[in-house]
Amino acid sequence: MKISTVGIVGAGQMGNGIAHVFALSGYQVLLNDIAQEGLDKAMATIRKNLDRQVSKKTISQGDMDATLARITTTLALEDLGQCDLVIEAATEREEIKNAIFEKLQPHLKPTTILTSNTSSISITRLASRTDRPEKFMGFHFMNPVPVMQLVELIRGIATDEATYQTLLSVVESLGKISASAEDFPGFIVNRILVPMINEAVYTLYEGVGSVTSIDQSLKLGANQPMGPLELADFIGLDTCLAIMNVLYDGLADTKYRPCPLLTKYVEAGWLGRKTKRGFYDYRGETPVPTR
């Protein structure tokens, strides 16, 4: 299957990063969102990130101009129907993802491959709600997409070999590295990473250490580039909680129980960097721990 046109649903943090790397690699990209403001913000982010690459001399000004010319934006989801590949990168809520695929389905070419950038939701279950479970896969990029090399490829129970091989080739064409994961809650990265973050929140909740001491300990004692609470703020505490709930519900093991403090922060709307407050307060010049 030859892929030349790529439709992306959702122009947020993940969607604009995915659009960036596909367009830079020569694909024609159609970026969709429910609000014009979201599309305008996404294009501004893509332009800023490309500009940074030009200033670092990793790409030329010509590369940047050509990349931007390959991206078209649309508010009409049905416009994505004629793309060779569709990547859903909307909110991490299963009912929203199902609604997107349902609305898109009548407009799809028979050969279109459907994928989801979900970080934890069952690919088999999402695929079963479409008319093409054999052409459906998990296509999980890491954040920030232009920087991170890994892409998790997740086959549902019905995914055929041709679809899998096509997406393997696509990942390679982006200059990224794929890791194949089975369709179990959290896949590989989040099955390991998010419970570690949850344990760090428990460590804070139980008073074992402060925000600063926990993050310093993991950065200096385990050589991690970011502390787990700092990382949670970067990912989004709502996303961390959603993944923990998927793990807890899907694996029925109490070791995946979300920490009550994580739930409390999400209830407060303190979701991390995107809301200016999480385990750190980002409203000043330098982040300050909130506990």
Cα gap 195→197, rounded to integer Å:
5
Q: Using the Cα atoms of residue 166, residue 171, residue 177 and residue 179 in order, give the sign of their dihedral.
A: negative
Q: Is 143 annotated as a binding residue?
A: yes
Torsion of CA 62, 80, 173, 235, to 10 degrees: 90
Three-class SS of residue 64?
helix
Cα gap 162→112, rounded to integer Å:
12
> Which DSSP helix (H) or strand (E) runs through 289?
strand 288-289
Cα gap 142→196, rounded to integer Å:
17
> Which DSSP helix (H) or strand (E) runs through 261?
helix 260-268
> Which DSSP helix (H) or strand (E) runs through 41?
helix 36-55
Q: Which positions are catalytic?
A: 119, 140, 152, 190
Q: Is 274 annotated as a binding residue?
A: yes
Identify the residue whose tokens are 């300050």: 288
**Which residue(s) pair with 86 in the sheet?**
7, 114
Q: Phi first, then psi: what are they for 155, rounded to 5°?
A: -85, 135
Q: Is 119 annotated as a binding residue?
A: yes
Q: 29 burial class (0-12, 13-18, 19+ CB within 10 angstroms)?
A: buried
Q: Residue 35 in contact with residue 15, Cβ under 8 Å?
A: no
Torsion of CA 59, 62, 63, 65, to 10 degrees: 130
Which residues are documented as binding site for NAD(+)?
A: 10-15, 33, 92, 97, 119, 143, 274
